[in-house]
Structure 1
Amino acid sequence: MCQLQLIIFSLLFFFLHPHPSLSSSPQSQSLQFKLHRRSPVGPHHASHFFSDLQRQHWIRSTIKRNLDNSKNYRPACRQSTSEAFEMPIGSGAYTGTGQYFVRVRVGTPARPFLLVADTGSDLTWVKCRRHADYPKEKGNGDGVRVFKPDQSSSWRPIKCSADMCQKTLPFALATCPTPDSPCVYDYGYSDGSRAQGIFANESATITLSSGKKTKLHGLVVGCTTNSSGTSFTSSDGVLGLGYSATSFASLASSLFGGLFSYCLVDHLAPRNLSSLLTFGPTVASSLIPSTPRVTPLILDSRLSPFYSVSIKCISVDNETLDIPPEVWNISSGGGTILDSGTSLTVLADPAYKAVVSALSQKLAGLPQIQMDPFEYCYNWTNVGTDLHVPKLALHFEGAARLEPPSKSYIIDVADGVKCIGFTSAPWPGTSTIGNILQQEHVWEFDIKNRRLRFEHSKCQRH
């Protein structure tokens, strides 16, 4: 068979410090907090997928900028701990935004915020106001909350004259009227949305598996005083989980054995189901059988802040598709990333044509329906259980094979309507594994050893 180079996904997240950054010392305990998922699809939500296409333009421009200005990030050498912590992930499939959300308690005293978990972003920020005239807040968990830094005793603005501002922080501006002025950012997103504000160090309050609460200090957090666009209407900000010096995922994994893992429940699951987000060498492995699929994890500066792996080929019903190997080769202008902020899987055009052609031929007997942005959609109302749905497999380097359930690539987009859930991206260019194709699998990212382990799971805690 073949082997694949699949992007692997930065994983979620939290910057937990077991050293001075922790207010208390967790002795072999686990950290827990809520992550709420918003469903990208479901009846009458097909229009959401247009934002996936917009996001691809941003991904490609980010990678192009890296190619033009290559700078290598390597994780700091830290003394890692053998401890682990886990975070329950709750389903939130009721708004149709296509993103996964984590509830983070920020500041002192701590207040909860619902942040987009984004492996394609290295900036973490919350909506905030730095003056007394705060807008009226909504308290139903879906409305906009604002962080009030002047009411947090742990808020420490980063100065524009600091080396971190001038050399490290993503999208920091050169604006520095005085050495003590705050470090300012202007972050642009794929759909034209923007976030503008200042950087600071701040704390977050978390709960260990024992039930004990503790604080994380020194987190890099943006105070966004001006945001525009549609990306953030249902959230309070963004949790940057990309592979970079300032992201939560990189910092946390460097402290907890170099490992993190996550498991995404079915994107249409009821909100009472839960799954796991884990950092550390022990808890993550408990969900993975003794013979997991393993493939090299590619941490390439040309694709930063994205995570990548090597796809060798794709097959449908055990037949290898005719896709040029250059499509999966970073040096040839290809490669594959895994992005939690994208719902659909986006394939470079040669791969897209091969995959969609093979799947559509197997479904040729079904009545077709036109529904943008998909090329092939079907009336599924009277489809019997005896219908053969073609089996898709992505083959990674190292003989690992991702065989997602058919609902992850023949997806529900409206009542009685299913579509082949891929979209096309121009070639040359990268392909993106979206969160729908990742669902119902445990993914363990071994940053230290540059290795990805994964296995099928229902992702449900009991």
Structure 2
Amino acid sequence: METLRVHDRTRNSQILAAVNFPVQGKGNSVVGMYTTIVKLGSPPRDFTVMIDTGSDLLWVSCSSCDNCPQSSGLGFKLNFFDMVGSSTAASILCSDRLCPIGVQGAVVRCPPPTKQCGYTYGYVDNSTTSGVYVIDEMHYDMILGQSSHSGVNTSGTVFFGCSTHQDGGLTETSRAIDEIFGFGPGPLSVVSQLSARGTIPRAFSHCLKGDGNGGGILVLGAVVEPSIVYSPLVPSQQHYYLKLESVAVNGLPLSINPDAFASTKYADRGTTIDSGTALAYLVQAVYDPLIAAINTIVSQYSSPFILEGNPCYPDSTSVDIFPSVSFNFAGGASMDVKPTQYLVHNDLTDAAMWCIGFQKAEIGLQILGDLVLKDKIIVYDLDNQRIGWTNYNCSMPVNVNVTLNKDTKINPRERQSSSISSKLGILSKLLPVIIVAFFLCT
């Protein structure tokens, strides 16, 4: 549990045609992180990336990085992006007026014209990544139909960060990965880039398996399932925030003053949905009555104890006696959380146990992370400014809506010129649409 909290403290201080990506990761692992693989460059190379709905930027480690981890403690080989080794890679120059700045704390170094456009992305925990913006091909599988789920390989031109230096927690081998794949709502995200070109719908979905083998589903497009319920996004935010209105245990609403949901430091934002966070964090006015209600029910059958601040129960305690929890959001949408979706199993040699994974929010920001998002289809419908969900077996196939706005369809045979000049021309037409007023390089 402490390992998960440390991961989240680092993570939270940083404050997913349908395109199909494989998903890896262990839902109950001490890492608390789901990853996928993206293919970049020509010839394409694989990069293992963390699926992160709490940030926008896709960045990878450059071959010229002077302080990047060389290996990962997560069981896979780290790769590095080599611009010279990719025939389709190109630099983004400040003279191109393509330096995207002012987004989520990113600070851009703007050298004299004709120099490569650089960035520094800093985090509250003093971790940083800095590097240069590049443009290249991303290769992916395009889902052609809602029922067949057959796909074809295709590619699209995207720009991303190439990290040449990292500091702080990003350098820890125990959790090192090739890159972070930001799925936030901002203009820098790959979702925004590809949807602005009409390549994909302006939506993405994930379904994270919660068993020990992890895995799941990640598609750029909206999963279609009759039981999905939706809640509107809090407008004008850089992350995905929903308005939480009440909490129930076994169907009975908790006695929580409604002001509790509006008295936090981040009340104007709401509760954020973040796949890069492992646990779930609730403000004290919500956390205390929720934990009390769970303990009252379970203590009739098993005696709880406190371990490092967490309510825990012996491993012999049946999961079936734990109650269900419902988070009720604006629009009448309830997120039902089963015991297996909020309990963390600690496999200690001499004293295995079940611990309640809900945590008290230290900074007043309510976050629903992988703990409660696993074993659910989560749909991020950006066109309609809403998020939807339903419990689901993430080992099963899904139906995906491949309809674009204005009743257009994804064209899986979209071809891009391999010339660098052509790619920069495409990007210059795209960026004024999706970057708005963030170009200040001259």
Q: Could you say which TM-score interval applies, normalised by the shorter chain?
A: 0.7 to 0.9
- Matches of 1:260 and 1:401, distance apart in 2: 20
What's the CA shift for 1:95? 6.6
What's the CA shift for 1:58? 4.0
Aligned to 1:193: 127
**Residue 214, structure 1, aligned to residue 149, structure 2:** no
Aligned to 1:122: 56
- Within the candidate set 292, 296, 318, 2:232 is matched to 296
Letter in 2 for 1:432: I
Q: Is the 8 A contact 1:160 1:166 kept in 2?
A: no
Query: Structure 1 residues 57, 275: CA separation in 2 closer, same or farther (over 3 Å shift)?
Result: closer
| Structure 1 runs of 4+ with >6 Å offset | 134-138
Q: Is the 8 A contact 1:98 1:343 kept in 2?
A: yes
Letter in 2 for 1:262: H
- Within the candidate set 155, 170, 176, 2:110 is matched to 176
1:329-363 deviations in whole A, cap 9, x for unaligned?
49974211011111110112211122122222223
1:104-129 deviations in whole A, cap 9, x for unaligned?
11111111010111111122111112
Aligned to 1:388: 321
Query: Structure 1 residues 231, 356: CA separation in 2 closer, same or farther (over 3 Å shift)?
Result: farther
What's the CA shift for 1:240? 1.2
- Matches of 1:338 and 1:131, distance apart in 2: 32
- Matches of 2:264 and 2:321, distance apart in 1: 38
1:269-291 deviations in whole A, cap 9, x for unaligned?
325xx53222335xx11xx12x4
Letter in 2 for 1:276: I
Letter in 1 for 2:193: L
Query: Structure 1 residues 181, 324: CA separation in 2 closer, same or farther (over 3 Å shift)?
Result: farther
- Matches of 1:350 and 1:364, distance apart in 2: 22
Q: Give the length in aligned residue pairs.
A: 378
Percent identity between the two aligned chains:
26
Aligned to 1:160: 94
- Matches of 1:417 and 1:331, distance apart in 2: 32
Aligned to 2:421: none
- Within the candidate set 62, 73, 80, 1:146 is matched to 80
What's the CA shift for 1:242? 1.2
**Residue 461, structure 1, aligned to residue 417, structure 2:** no
Query: Structure 1 residues 263, 137: CA separation in 2 closer, same or farther (over 3 Å shift)?
Result: closer
- Within the candidate set 314, 327, 337, 1:379 is matched to 314
**Residue 50, structure 1, aligned to residue 23, structure 2:** no
With structure 2 as the length reference, what TM-score do the two structures score? 0.76
Q: Is the 8 A contact 1:253 1:260 kept in 2?
A: no
What's the CA shift for 1:384? 4.4
What's the CA shift for 1:323? 2.6
- Matches of 2:106 and 2:240, distance apart in 1: 22
- Matches of 2:71 and 2:6, distance apart in 1: 30
Aligned to 1:12: none
Aligned to 1:3: none
Letter in 1 for 2:379: E
What's the CA shift for 1:93? 6.1
Q: Is the 8 A contact 2:275 2:369 kept in 1?
A: yes
Query: Structure 1 residues 352, 54: CA separation in 2 closer, same or farther (over 3 Å shift)?
Result: farther
Root-mean-square deviation (CA), in Å?
Answer: 3.1
Q: Is the 8 A contact 2:41 2:88 kept in 1?
A: yes
1:126-185 deviations in whole A, cap 9, x for unaligned?
1112499x99889x9713221111211222222235443164665554533421122222
Gaps of 5+ in 1: 1-44, 60-82
**Residue 348, structure 1, aligned to residue 283, structure 2:** yes
- Matches of 1:425 and 1:131, distance apart in 2: 35
Q: SS where residue 181 of structure 1 aligns? A: coil
Query: Structure 1 residues 142, 299: CA separation in 2 closer, same or farther (over 3 Å shift)?
Result: farther
**Residue 363, structure 1, aligned to residue 298, structure 2:** yes
Q: SS where residue 357 of structure 1 aligns? A: helix
Q: SS where residue 372 of structure 2 aligns? A: helix
- Matches of 2:328 and 2:23, distance apart in 1: 28
Aligned to 1:242: 184
- Matches of 1:127 and 1:46, distance apart in 2: 28
**Residue 229, structure 1, aligned to residue 168, structure 2:** yes
**Residue 277, structure 1, aligned to residue 184, structure 2:** no
- Matches of 2:105 and 2:261, distance apart in 1: 29
- Matches of 1:206 and 1:172, distance apart in 2: 27
Name the stretch that deviates more: 110-119 or 329-338: 329-338
- Matches of 1:364 and 1:224, distance apart in 2: 50
Q: SS where residue 84 of structure 2 aligns? A: helix
Q: Is the 8 A contact 1:347 1:423 kept in 2?
A: yes
Name the stretch that deviates more: 190-199 or 387-396: 190-199
Letter in 2 for 1:235: I
1:197-256 deviations in whole A, cap 9, x for unaligned?
111122111233445322211x12111111233346331011111110111233345533
Query: Structure 1 residues 331, 192: CA separation in 2 closer, same or farther (over 3 Å shift)?
Result: closer
Aligned to 1:8: none
Query: Structure 1 residues 170, 431: CA separation in 2 closer, same or farther (over 3 Å shift)?
Result: closer
With structure 1 as the length reference, what TM-score do the two structures score? 0.73
- Matches of 2:340 and 2:28, distance apart in 1: 18
- Within the candidate set 302, 306, 309, 2:242 is matched to 309
Query: Structure 1 residues 333, 424: CA separation in 2 closer, same or farther (over 3 Å shift)?
Result: same
Query: Structure 1 residues 257, 127: CA separation in 2 closer, same or farther (over 3 Å shift)?
Result: closer
Query: Structure 1 residues 190, 48: CA separation in 2 closer, same or farther (over 3 Å shift)?
Result: farther
What's the CA shift for 1:412? 1.3
What's the CA shift for 1:426? 4.2
Gaps of 5+ in 2: 144-149, 398-442
What's the CA shift for 1:456? 1.1
